[in-house]
Structure 1
Amino acid sequence: MKVAVFSAQPYDRRFLDEAWARRQAGASITLQYFTEALSLASYSLARECGAVCVFVNDVLDAEVLAALAGQGVRAVLLRCAGYNNVDLAAAARLGLFVARVPAYSPEAVAEFTLALVLTLNRHTHRAYARVREGNFALDGLLGSNLHGKTVGLVGLGRIGLAAARIFHGFGCRVLGHDPAPPAAFGALGVQAALPALLADADIVSLHCPLLPSTHHLIDAAALARMKPGAMLVNTSRGGLLDTCAVIDALKSRRLGALAIDVYEQESELFFRDHSAEIIADDVFQRLLTFPNVLVTGHQGFFTAEALREIAETTLDNLDRYIQGSPCANVCLPA
């Protein structure tokens, strides 16, 4: 079977090839790598392929899925946990196998969340730039202790729980909001309704999936409930934030700081080098003008451990599809 791997970066090739080399026995598989993202303009690259392997910003709406199925694709393998970019109802109608990677080193994203918080709080990114210019003044770099602060975690899945362990270890008071909180959270923090969490937390960190019910979860009303001067962190999905409302909260100084590793319109920007281009996204460009905003390009997952687990689980999902055996990672229609 041929598998078309879309949005393939050098690191994707490295870890998928290494994972495949460790399991040479079994079905004959050929991985074909394409740097292009999957869309209606590129689906034909998967001609003669029985499966496609995709990432967070690939388009798998009803039209693209129908086009893929029409040329023989029967399986969709997601190299990520989220599946908000897949029309699962259309996939079910077409009889497609869709499987994801539900867990891969949750500590990778949780630790990156901490890195963003510490960077913004202690201004280490600004201090680094100053020192390289010979400026050792401390004015403007005043931070505060993380110890004793209240951290509100929205979403207590594997990543949220890992973040709770980290912030609890720093001596923070941890609040958590989740429709189905895990029992393990009881030793780390206190469950709270979302309005109470927003009002009480010095730092609000998002770790929930993007669903119709969570789209723009943090909107103007939610921002108005937040403690004045609080920090907001999003390492989950860009669509959780109403970015224009966030910009208004930054301009009014209601929101004290913002760190985002994801952006609602990131598919046109992230995972590619645009340094020699003019970025036409005015909303994104406005975010970059604030000194209290830190933006990274969806790298929270980017550790060797996480990439190794993603590759192994993706190939496990493919094996189970080929063998017709049960797969716990199959995505079911909503």
Structure 2
Amino acid sequence: MVRLSKPVIAFATSSVAHKLPSLPLGTILIDSPEFQSMITTPPSYEPNRVVKVAQSNTAAILYSSGTTGRVKGVELTHRNFISLIAGFYFNRRESEDDAPRPVSLFPLPLFHVFGFFMLIRAASMSETLVLMERFDFEGMLRAVEKYKVTYMPVSPPLVLVLAKSDLVTKYDLSSLRLLGCGGAPLGKEVSEKFAVRFPGIEIVQGYGLTETSGGATRMVELDESKRHGSVGRISEMMEAKIVDPGTGEALPPGQQGELWLRGPTTMKGYVGDDEATSTTLDPEGWLKTGDLCYFDSDGFLYIVDRLKELIKYKAYQVPPAELEHLLQSNPEIADAAVVPSTQNILHWDVLLF
């Protein structure tokens, strides 16, 4: 990561600073007295100093395995984030204008694009943000009660835990109005269990990649959140198409293929990796996601699986996720994972829990 981004300065706590390499401007300890005094001291500005920033300049480098392969530095620009923020305001609900200022809590890492995306939202929309140094489920429940949290971005496993845990009865979660779910499709069964236990909390889903600055599809209205299994409709300013992986032909609604995306939130490229960039971004600006998907006739997107994980059986392409869903429908199975065999690359193993 250091090799890809070539940083000149680092910010870290004293407990982990020793893990960082030597940098030109060193490492700033954010838990040091000097740093704390800097925060409380009025800044001194240079009035004649002008810093010019172009929209095409790099604003952040986030890390991802890319749509395939080893870790890559995803180069995101100021234009990408301007587009994201414009989308936040575009989707702002009229009812929010008169409502109390939102209070969000993030039980997810800020270095992940989901957490980073939501951090930008919280800052740009002037929301109150509650952060936890480390995730702890009961600590999260205490924070919701104490700070009157109104919404949280979450992953599907946390939705399931909230739906099943007895600990939730010990805390007042009445302030919570919305969960934004991402990272993986949320199953219908989990959604229904959660709705029974928390009828006043809405769940909306979305889909995105590090390469799209996070936002690619979303749910806005309450009716959209009832499309179980879907990750919503394509986001504002974005284009999408489903492409046959073999022929490159665009496919109609209902047919599965690779999802391609294009829009102003699409990355500039992979830092220092022109080959990976040209493989992922075509000359017309389409980003090849590597995800097997389809749109229904109403424009809702459904994620089936990763293309590289497809099982080929007698000329049929079988997504492991479909087998997992079938296995999980058995009430005697708490969870299931279909993974490539460690003994034979032509076989797949099934793990049951």
TM-score under structure 1 length normalisation: 0.36
> Structure with the greater relative contact order (CA < 8 A, sep ≥ 6): 1 or 2?
1
More helix by share: 1
Q: Give the number of the structure whose alpha-carbon radius of gyration is greater.
A: 2
More strand by share: 2
